[in-house]
């Protein structure tokens, strides 16, 4: 059986105001507080295009390698839902702003480009809250705050073949939109939503019947829905059961899909050009300005980190997951040219502390200068690597210099030979069995003895000197 998967992803653009009016796009405020005659579709209200939303959409399309069209057109897509007050959505249909392009994803067989069909601009609908979401039995409430929020819809070719590949595509796209600063990509806040098209066929030369799964709001849900639908369709084909072209709903609790309605065709939406908006014309100067400010893309920087700094693909991918992290790493390398050491420390100690704080790197007071200084102190033997773990929280939370933090904590490393030698003698006496094991040829026991000495010194002893003195006394 051959599985074919295509995605339709809606990404909310990070503008302060809505697509066609001046209402705020702020998330989480009281329902129906960011509304006006335009986003409610009241008679006589006219839309005005948000120029910032267009610029952000151009940036995404350029980063994805799409062909941008100098002339595009808005249309009315007619359908009747409670959360769509105009009973139509302003979108782009047969003349979108961009077509083509691709996005690279990592697969088990290596990096592969997933082709894109198109990217177009549109407005979001409101949000319906059903009885399952509220305590009012049987009622549905509608919040129009989201209605009119700018979106870019990205439609892929049916190039994916598993839930894992769809998961990786979404992860890669979210990394890109966050990297460019055009969207938060937060699926839990509705800033990125996904519809999935799945078909299963016994014939590799043709696709099976396409089934759509609507409004999946997490990467995990996308993968689970695809995995289930793949099995369901394969079983239908094995049993000889017809597979209708339909739209299905994914049940999070059960992990299953169920029919919602028959799949609409484009003529069901009765598209026609939006009479209240002119054609969207992109000038050469505008496109050049967006292109000039386009940063190095995450997968480009990842490849450069591997070639320029000798990082592993895994390390380079971790460091380029967020643009702020990648830029922090680069600035630290300029100060202290030890990229592998910096990468390892950022991925372990710094990442662990950020996870405990529930913060991103940019939300702390840690600077590249401070991290470089801390690692230099470890390399020069002023403090031990263990002691650096006590210093790091002060750098992250207060912004003090490494020197100030070390003095405040009293963690200067002891390199006094006589003082460490006295501790070494105590360790040998207290661990006589392990000392004899070392003398009999068990070299690995030395690490244990060094650890005991470091405990006695409260992490202040120079571990290299401690090892040398222990070896000398045991010899």
- Please determine, for residue 136, whether its predicted confidence score (pLDDT) is greater than 70: no
Residue-by-residue DSSP string for 299-364: HHHHHHHHHHH---HHHHHHHTSSHHHHHHHHHHHHHS--HHHHHHHIIIIIHHHHHHHT--GGGS
Please, which residues have CB within 8 angstroms of residue 412's CB and are 6 or more apart in sequence?
382, 383, 406, 460
pLDDT class of 76 with cuts at 50, 70, 90 = very high
Please, which residues have CB within 8 angstroms of residue 241's CB and are 6 or more apart in sequence?
235
Q: Are 289 and 56 in contact (CB under 8 A)?
A: no
Question: What average pLDDT does range 210-230 have in this prediction?
Answer: 92
3-state secondary structure of 270: coil
Q: Residue 217: what pLDDT?
A: 81
Which tokens in the block code for residue 443? Answer: 């070299």
Q: Residue 26: what pLDDT?
A: 95
Name which of 111-125, 283-297, 412-426 the model is least confident about.
412-426
Q: Residue 264: what pLDDT?
A: 67
Question: What average pLDDT does range 425-437 have in this prediction?
Answer: 93
Give per-residue pLDDT as tens, 189-203: 889 999 999 999 998
pLDDT class of 130 with cuts at 50, 70, 90 = confident
Q: Are 11 and 151 in contact (CB under 8 A)?
A: yes
Calculate what percentage of the chain has a pLDDT beyond 70: 97
Q: Residue 188: what pLDDT?
A: 84
Q: Which of 432, 412, 433, 414 is nearest to 422 (CA)?
A: 414
Give the Cβ contact number of residue 305 at 10 Å: 25
Question: What average pLDDT does range 129-148 have in this prediction?
Answer: 77
Give per-residue pLDDT as tens, 360-394: 898 999 999 999 999 999 888 788 888 899 999 99
Q: Residue 134: what pLDDT?
A: 53
- Please determine, for residue 178, whether its predicted confidence score (pLDDT) is greater than 90: yes
Which tokens in the block code for residue 329? Answer: 């790493």
Round to whole Å and give the CA distance between 139 and 185: 30
How do the domains of the chain map onto residue ranges?
2-286, 296-409, 417-474
Name which of 55-69, 123-137, 235-249, 426-440 the model is least confident about.
123-137
CB-count burial class (<10 Å; 0-12, 13-18, 19+) for 288: exposed
Q: Which of 206, 262, 211 is nearest to 233 (CA)?
A: 211
Q: Are 146 and 89 in contact (CB under 8 A)?
A: no
- Please determine, for residue 355, whether its predicted confidence score (pLDDT) is greater than 90: yes
Terminal Cα-to-Cα distance of the chain (whole angstroms): 68
Please, which residues have CB within 8 angstroms of residue 303's CB and are 6 or more apart in sequence?
316
Give the Cβ contact number of residue 281 at 10 Å: 10
Q: Residue 110: what pLDDT?
A: 86
Residue 268 is classified by DSSP as G
Question: What average pLDDT does range 233-252 have in this prediction?
Answer: 93
CA dihedral 288, 293, 296, 298 (to 10 degrees): -110
Round to whole Å and give the CA distance between 176 and 192: 12
pLDDT class of 138 with cuts at 50, 70, 90 = low
Q: Are 57 and 96 in contact (CB under 8 A)?
A: no
Is 417-474 CATH 1.10.10.410? yes
Query: Chain-centre distance of CA 368, in angstroms?
Result: 23
Give per-residue pLDDT as tens, 263-311: 666 778 899 999 999 999 999 999 999 999 999 999 999 999 999 999 9
pLDDT class of 409 with cuts at 50, 70, 90 = confident
């Amino acid at each position: 059986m051959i599985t074919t998967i295509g995605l339709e992803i809606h990404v909310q653009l990070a503008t302060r105001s809505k697509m066609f009016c001046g209402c705020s796009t702020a998330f989480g405020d009281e329902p129906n507080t960011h509304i006006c005659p335009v986003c409610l579709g009241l008679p006589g209200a006219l839309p005005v295009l948000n120029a910032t939303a267009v610029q952000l959409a151009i940036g995404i399309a350029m980063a994805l390698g799409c062909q941008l069209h100098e002339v595009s057109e808005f249309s009315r897509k007619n359908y009747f839902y409670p959360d769509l007050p105009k009973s139509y959505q302003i979108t782009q249909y047969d003349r979108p702003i961009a077509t083509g392009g691709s996005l690279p994803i990592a697969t088990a067989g290596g990096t592969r480009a997933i082709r894109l069909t198109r990217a177009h601009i549109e407005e979001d609908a409101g949000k319906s809250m059903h009885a399952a979401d509220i305590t009012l039995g049987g009622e549905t409430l509608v919040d129009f705050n989201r209605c009119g929020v700018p979106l870019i819809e990205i439609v892929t070719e049916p190039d994916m073949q598993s839930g894992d590949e769809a998961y990786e595509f979404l992860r890669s796209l979210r990394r890109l939109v966050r990297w460019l600063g055009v969207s938060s990509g937060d699926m839990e806040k509705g800033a990125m939503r996904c519809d999935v098209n799945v078909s299963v066929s016994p014939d590799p030369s043709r696709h099976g019947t396409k089934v759509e799964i609507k409004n999946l709001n997490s990467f995990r849900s996308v993968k689970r829905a695809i995995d289930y639908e793949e099995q369901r369709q394969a079983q239908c084909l094995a049993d000889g059961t017809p597979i209708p072209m339909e739209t299905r709903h994914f049940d999070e609790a059960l992990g299953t899909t169920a029919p919602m309605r028959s799949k609409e065709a484009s003529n069901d939406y009765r598209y026609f050009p939006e009479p209240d908006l002119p054609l969207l014309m992109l000038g050469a100067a505008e496109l050049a300005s967006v292109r000039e400010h386009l940063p190095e893309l995450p997968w480009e920087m990842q490849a450069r980190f591997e070639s320029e700094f000798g990082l592993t693909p895994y390390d380079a991918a971790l460091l380029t997951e967020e643009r702020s992290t990648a830029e922090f790493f680069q600035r630290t390398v300029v100060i202290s040219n030890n990229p592998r050491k910096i990468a390892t420390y950022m991925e372990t100690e710094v990442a662990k502390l950020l996870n405990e704080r529930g913060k991103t790197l940019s939300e702390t007071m840690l600077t590249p200068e401070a991290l470089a200084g801390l690692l230099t102190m470890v390399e020069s033997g002023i403090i031990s690597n263990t002691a650096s773990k006590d210093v790091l929280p002060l750098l992250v939370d207060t912004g003090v210099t490494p020197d100030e933090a070390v003095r405040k904590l009293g963690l200067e490393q002891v390199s006094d030979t006589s003082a460490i030698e006295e501790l070494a003698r105590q360790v040998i006496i207290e661990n006589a069995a392990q000392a004899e094991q070392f003398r009999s040829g068990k070299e690995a026991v030395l690490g244990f003895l060094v650890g005991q000495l470091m405990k006695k010194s409260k992490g202040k002893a120079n571990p290299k000197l401690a090892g040398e003195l222990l070896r000398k006394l045991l010899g």
